[in-house]
Amino acid sequence: MNILDIGNSFSQDATTYLHDIAEADGYDLTVVNLYIGGCSLQRHWENIENDSHIYDYELNGRAIRGEVSIYKTLQERRWDYIALQQVSGKSGIKDSYYPYIDLIADYIKKHAPTAKLAIHETWAYELDSEHPDFAYYGSQGNMYLAIKDAYGYVADRMKVKIIPCGDVIQKLRSHPLFDYARGGQSLCRDGFHMDFVYGRYLTAAVWYVTLTKRSISGNKFIPPAIGDTTVDREKITVIKQCVDDMLLNKE
């Protein structure tokens, strides 16, 4: 399976461990993330119009090269899925998606006609996030509901698959191990980006299960520890169970 994500730092979070999870499962999967930090759908479209060679190219979670364009990457291989997302601060504002997501989708259909489009549903910020756009929503709960509504509307309108990272993250935040308000592990590292270990592992697991329909519960991949920390295997197990419960076991 070949996956292309046209995104920003949130897509970087979500795809860092996706190939590693697939490899541990014996599943042939390649993922490319086209990265510009804080890039909105409007800017992606402007980059397409100008054929701008300004994206960083990340292959299987590793930075490979810079100064590539969307057009060049679309021509690179036969893509199975191409995912889109809005910049995080505008992700709960429906009007911000248009007309850009439709223009980008039409462009993709023209230049990668066999690829299926997908929508990456991103997540609400942490309870005490200091991100300047958090004030627009007022709370994590409000932001989550706005994001869910906006992405759901877009995906339904386009009739495409949604990768529900925001839903699974919000569900996991109610588990005692990840209940930040009561001393649990935050899934964010800075109030909005995913934690380097548990957050990035969770989002990659959501992508993997959503796109392959394969269980994550028996997967042997464990994300590497950061610095002097150790990886809590119980937390990894809870993440796996939550992902499978929400994406597979309910079906």
**Residue 249 pLDDT > 90:** no
- Structure tokens given for 95: 């009007």
- Count the neighbouring beta carbons within 10 Å of the beta carbon of residue 138: 10
Based on DSSP, count helices (H) and strands (E) in the chain, helices before strands: 10, 7
User: pLDDT (tens digit, 9 = 90+) per residue, 60-110?
Assistant: 999 998 899 999 999 999 999 999 999 999 999 999 999 999 999 999 999
What's the average model confidence in pLDDT over 160-165?
Answer: 98
Higher-confidence residue of 120 and 249: namely 120
Instruction: Using pLDDT thresholds of 50, 70 and 90, give the confidence band for residue 250.
Output: low
Confidence at residue 228, expressed as pLDDT on a 0 to 100 scale: 81
Tokens 């994206």 map to which residue? Answer: 55
User: pLDDT (tens digit, 9 = 90+) per residue, 195-214?
Assistant: 999 999 999 999 999 999 99
102, 10, 222, 26 alpha-carbon torsion, rounded to 10°: 20
Contact 201, 220 (CB under 8 A): no
Contact 233, 222 (CB under 8 A): yes
Give how many domains the chain has, as a whole number: 1
Instruction: Using pLDDT thresholds of 50, 70 and 90, give the confidence band for residue 227.
Output: confident
Q: What is the CATH number of the domain that holds 160?
A: 3.40.50.1110
- Count the neighbouring beta carbons within 10 Å of the beta carbon of residue 160: 17
Strand partners, 55: 68
CA 87, chain centre distance (Å): 11
Q: Which amino acid is at 247?
A: L
**Residue 13 pLDDT > 80:** yes
User: pLDDT (tens digit, 9 = 90+) per residue, 25-40?
Assistant: 999 999 999 999 999 9
> Collapsing DSSP states into helix, strand and coil, what is residue 236?
helix
- Structure tokens given for 249: 């076991």
Range of the domain at 94: 2-249
CA 154, CA 156: separation in Å to the nearest integer? 6
Peptide bond preceding 113 in cis form (omega within 30 of 0): no
Q: What is the DSSP letter of 221?
A: -
pTM reported for the whole predicted model: 0.97
